[in-house]
């Protein structure tokens, strides 16, 4: 099955882009100069892409109004944006797994309360909540992770809930119960491992979404605070210089779109692999 | 049969009442959550109002005047009582009555969101249907476009459109809902001015919606294509176009209408960013400004109004689904035939 995933061009594209992005983020100090080192602002500001400044250093994507190298800020920003996106989704997955599994396994009153909670949380206007939470407390990367995690678990809870309900009625689970295995252990050992595949797909799609939302918050000044670069505040910093330095806002935006497209395509491909019905129609 | 119809109508009525009650519960829950969240968060509107140089006494007097010195549950009960009666108070920051601010703002948000919803669904359904019916290279090419649109953040797309159409082409305005000279324009000139201001925010919001809808319609149509009733329609000798339009697309649209309701909160969320970029005078921009100023009455009202708009939109989407799916409206047509 892993082999056939590599025959899917969407999966190949998605994986390559994501691996490249993560590699660049991890190896940032090797592929770019440290953007926090401030040098000669007047001589290096607003240089267009592919130019060399008076000091002889090359700027692949040009420089911004403070003479900072856009490529370096982009690569160091990838650390923040990818990190925030991935950690936020991990938090969502943890909450969603707990709520969904409990609601699906203990279907009585607990299940009803948890499902009601999930539906209520789904009906909340997410960005309104994000705006409030992010603006009322001191904005930081950690706050963005918590806020995105706390507002993104509902779809995962619903997926896990329906999986667990179906699995709980399967013979192998019933036999485990009949053998005297206690409830939580049945859930952890026999049900959850079998319910994980749709969660992985949802998580892949969720990472793209979380990166976009982080960028949105940072764009409004409510997320990661400058001078720490994130793709969102890079776009925001390019907003004022759209006329004389359009590359400052364009480069992080294109990168963001590429990464989100990659996560989406990878998620699509994995879903089609796991679901024979949709493989039949899309093949 | 009369008895049967009465039963159906009472069931439908009960569903409508239950759904409305659930909607009210959601609105109530949202405003309650917000009330306590914003008061538990650090930040003091009285301090912002009197300024950092004020004395302790001035600050205390201001807090008393705003009712912020009383215990939280008491503040909540008082606020809820006034809010339900329609007394939404005045903005702490500007002193303007909150209801006047909101009633001036919500038509702008509803027209922007409503129009973009309509356009993005029309275009999205068309694109998705073409992809599912044609397949092949056209499908692949359009898939690249839709997945890209799906991944583009609205505020960035907005900036790019502003860069191209406002700064380079100098063709369209980027800020506000009307020009500075709007009051001096008459008739068609005023309409044209409005449309020119609407163009960029509407295009942005529509484009980001098209990607998701088209992807969903394509998937739903491909799912329905293999259903038994479609095979029968083909066997009857209907042309491929007839099969696609009458039997595949129509059935594929039912989940799409449900999606419409589910996508409303996201659309309003997207509108917040778009309103901030284009200085569109809607509820979203009021919200962003109020949040910065810790303007409690305005935040609460804006939150309640966006929750209401989402709930009402969801009810409308449910009604549309019932209209599109004959199985959900047995009362009118198949009552005698069943």
pLDDT digit string, tens, across residues A46-55:
788 887 877 7
Residue among B153, B167, B310 whose CB faces A242 most closely? B167
The reply to whether residue A132 touches residue B34, judged by beta carbons under 8 angstroms, is yes
Per the CB < 8 Å rule, is A282 touching B222? yes
pLDDT tops 70 at residue A277: no
Chain A residues close to B299, C-beta within 8 Å: 132
Range A72-93 average pLDDT: 92
CA A79 to chain centre: 12
CB within 8 Å: B272 and A128: yes
Distance CA B29, CA A119 (A): 12
What are the backbone angles phi and psi of residue A213, rounded to the nearest 5°? Answer: -70, -40
Cβ pair A257:B151 closer than 8 A: yes
User: Which of A136, A137, A264 shows the shortest C-beta gap to B151?
Assistant: A264
Q: Is the pLDDT assigned to residue A132 strictly greater than 80?
A: no
pLDDT above 90 for A255 = yes
User: What per-residue confidence (pLDDT) applies to B252?
Assistant: 79
In this predicted structure, the answer to whether residue A283 has a pLDDT above a threshold of 50 is no
Percent pLDDT > 70 in chain A is 91
Q: How confident is the model at residue A236 (pLDDT cuts 50, 70, 90)?
A: confident
Angle at B292 between CA B288 and CA B297, to 5 degrees: 80
Min Cα–Cα distance to chain A from B332, Å: 31
Answer whether B291 sits within 8 Å of A136, measured CB to CB: yes
Give the residue from chain A lying closest to B170, CA to CA: A243
Phi then psi for residue B169, to 5 deg, are: -80, -15
Structure tokens at B217: 């319609």
* Counts of helices then strands in chain A (DSSP H, E): 15, 2
Chain B residues touching A246 at Cβ < 8 A: 163
Cβ pair A126:B265 closer than 8 A = yes
Confidence of residue A282 (pLDDT cuts 50, 70, 90): very low
Report the alpha-carbon distance of residue A205 to residue A265 in Å, rounded.
9
Could you read off the pLDDT of A146-166 as tens digits, one per residue? 888 988 898 888 888 888 888
Sorted by sequence, the CB contacts under 8 Å of residue B159 that are 6+ apart come out as A235, A238, A239, A242, A249, A253, B277
Per CB-CB distance under 8 Å, the chain B contacts of A250 are 160
**CA dist., res. A205 & res. A262, Å (int):** 9
Point out the residue among A125, A131, A208 whose CB comes nearest to the CB of B151: A208
Q: How far is A124 from chain B (nearest CA, A)?
A: 7
Cβ-based contacts of B34 with chain A (< 8 Å): 132
Q: Nearest CA to CA, how far is B145 from chain A (Å)?
A: 10
Say whether pLDDT at A39 is over 60: yes
Chain B interface disruption, residue of A118, A123, A214, A257, most B CBs within 10 A: A123
pLDDT score at B195: 86
Q: Which structure tokens are listed for B320?
A: 């549309």
Locate the chain B residue with the closest alpha carbon to A259. Answer: B151
State how far the Cα of A218 lies from the Cα of A126, in Å rounded to an integer: 16
- Asked if the Cβ–Cβ distance from A123 to B265 is below 8 Å, we say yes
CB < 8 Å to B265, chain A: 122-126
Query: A229-238, A268-277, B247-256: which has the minimum mean pLDDT?
Result: A268-277
- A126·B270 Cβ contact <8 A: no
Q: Phi-psi category of A161—alpha, beta or left, where left has phi over 0 and alpha has psi -120 to 50?
A: alpha
Preceding amide of A185 cis, omega within 30: no
Q: How many angstroms separate the CA atoms of B276 and B287, rounded? A: 10
Where does the pLDDT of residue A275 fall: very low under 50, low under 70, confident under 90, or very high at 90 and above?
low
- Would you say A134 and A143 are in contact if contact means Cβ atoms under 8 Å apart? yes
Map A3-30 to HEC letters: HHHHCCHHHHHHHHHHHHHHHHHHCHHH
* Candidate from A216, A238, A281 with C-beta closest to B222: A281
For residues A130 and A212, the answer to whether their CB atoms sit within 8 Å is: no
Question: A20 or B8: whose pLDDT is higher?
Answer: A20
Q: Determine the Cα–Cα distance for residues B280 and B109; give it in Å rounded to an integer.
A: 8
Which of B269, B276, B314 faces A126 most closely, judged by CB atoms? Answer: B269
Encoded tokens for A182:
């206690």
Which one of A18, A132, A138, A148 would you mutate to disrupt binding with B, by most B Cβ within 10 Å of its Cβ? A132
| Residue A270, number of CB atoms within 10 A of its CB | 21
Provide block-wise average pLDDT over 10 residues at a time, chain B (338 residues): 60 76 83 82 72 80 78 86 86 86 87 90 92 87 91 89 88 78 76 87 91 87 81 84 81 76 72 86 85 81 80 76 65 39
Q: What is the pLDDT of residue B320?
A: 75
pTM: 0.81
Mutate to test the interface with A, among B31, B151, B312, B313 (most CBs of A within 10 A): B151
| A241: pLDDT strictly greater than 70 | yes
Q: Which DSSP symbol is given to A62?
A: -
How would residue A3 be classed by pLDDT, with cut points 50, 70 and 90?
low
Task: Indicate whether A276 pLDDT > 60.
Answer: no
Taking the C-alpha atoms of residue B19 and residue B13, their distance in angstroms, rounded to an integer, is 10
Structure tokens at B293: 């100023």
Q: Is A125 in Cβ contact with B306 (below 8 Å)?
A: yes
Can you list the alpha helix ranges (DSSP code H) found in chain B? 2-40, 45-50, 56-66, 72-84, 98-134, 136-151, 154-161, 187-225, 228-235, 240-242, 250-278, 283-292, 296-324
Q: How many CB pairs under 8 A join A and B?
A: 125
Would you say how long chain B is, in residues? Answer: 338
B153·A253 Cβ contact <8 A: yes
Cβ-nearest to A281 among B223, B272, B273: B223
Rounded distance, CA A64 to CA A15, Å?
31
C-alpha to C-alpha distances, A103 to A99, A107, A109, A114, A195, nearest whole angstrom? 6, 6, 9, 6, 14
């Amino acid at each position: 099955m892993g082999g056939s995933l590599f025959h899917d061009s969407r999966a190949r594209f998605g994986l390559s882009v994501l691996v490249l992005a993560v590699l660049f983020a991890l190896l940032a100090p090797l592929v770019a100069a440290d953007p926090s080192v401030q040098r000669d602002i007047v001589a290096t500001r607003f240089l267009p892409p592919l130019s060399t400044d008076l000091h002889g250093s090359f700027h692949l994507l040009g420089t911004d109004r403070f003479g900072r190298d856009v490529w370096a800020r982009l690569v160091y920003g990838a650390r923040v944006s990818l990190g925030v996106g991935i950690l936020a989704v991990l938090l969502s997955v943890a909450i969603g797994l707990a709520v969904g599994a409990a609601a699906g396994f203990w279907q009585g009153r607990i299940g009803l309360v948890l499902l009601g909670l999930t539906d209520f949380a789904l009906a909340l206007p997410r960005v309104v909540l994000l705006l409030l939470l992010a603006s009322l407390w001191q904005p930081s990367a950690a706050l963005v992770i918590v806020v995105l995690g706390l507002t993104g678990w509902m779809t995962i809870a619903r997926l896990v809930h329906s999986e667990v309900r179906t699995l709980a009625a399967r013979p192998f689970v019933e036999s485990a119960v009949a053998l005297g295995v206690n409830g939580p252990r049945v859930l952890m050992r026999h049900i959850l491992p079998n319910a994980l595949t749709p969660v992985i797909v949802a998580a892949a799609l969720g990472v793209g979404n979380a990166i976009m939302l982080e960028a949105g918050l940072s764009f409004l000044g409510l997320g990661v605070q400058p001078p720490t670069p994130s793709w969102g505040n890079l776009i925001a910093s390019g907003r004022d210089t759209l006329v004389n330095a359009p590359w400052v806002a364009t480069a992080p935006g294109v990168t963001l779109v590429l990464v989100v497209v990659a996560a989406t395509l990878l998620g699509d491909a994995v879903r089609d692999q796991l679901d024979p019905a949709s493989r039949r129609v899309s093949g | 049969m009369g008895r049967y119809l009465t039963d159906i109508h009472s069931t439908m009525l009960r569903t409508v009442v239950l759904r409305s009650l659930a909607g009210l519960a959601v609105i109530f829950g949202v405003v309650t959550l917000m009330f306590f969240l914003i008061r538990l968060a650090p930040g003091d509107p009285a301090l912002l109002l009197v300024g950092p140089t004020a004395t302790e006494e001035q600050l205390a007097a201001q807090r008393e005047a705003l009712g912020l010195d009383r215990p939280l549950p008491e503040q909540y009960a008082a606020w809820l009582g006034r809010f339900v009666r329609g007394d939404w108070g005045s903005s702490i920051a500007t002193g303007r009555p909150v209801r006047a601010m909101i009633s001036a703002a919500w038509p702008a948000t509803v027209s922007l969101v409503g129009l973009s919803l309509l356009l993005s669904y029309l275009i999205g359904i068309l694109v998705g249907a073409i992809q599912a019916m044609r397949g092949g290279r056209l499908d692949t090419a359009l898939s690249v476009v839709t997945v890209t649109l799906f991944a583009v953040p609205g505020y960035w797309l907005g900036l790019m459109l502003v860069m191209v159409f406002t700064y380079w082409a100098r063709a369209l305005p980027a800020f506000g809902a009307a020009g500075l000279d709007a009051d001096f324009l008459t008739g068609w000139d005023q309409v044209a001015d409005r449309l020119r201001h609407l163009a960029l925010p509407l295009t942005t919001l529509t484009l980001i919606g098209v990607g998701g809808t088209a992807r969903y319609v394509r998937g739903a149509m491909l799912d329905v294509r293999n259903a038994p009733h479609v095979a029968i329609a083909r066997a009857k000798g209907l042309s491929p176009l007839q099969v696609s339009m009458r039997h595949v697309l129509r059935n594929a649209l039912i989940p799409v209408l449900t999606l419409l309701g589910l996508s409303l909160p996201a659309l309003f969320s997207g509108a917040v960013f778009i309103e901030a970029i284009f200085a569109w005078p809607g509820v979203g921009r009021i919200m962003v400004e109020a949040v910065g100023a810790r303007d409690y009455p305005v935040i609460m009202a804006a939150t309640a109004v966006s929750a209401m708009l989402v709930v009402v939109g969801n009810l409308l989407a449910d009604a549309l689904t019932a209209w599109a799916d004959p199985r959900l409206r047995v009362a009118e047509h198949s009552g005698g035939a069943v």
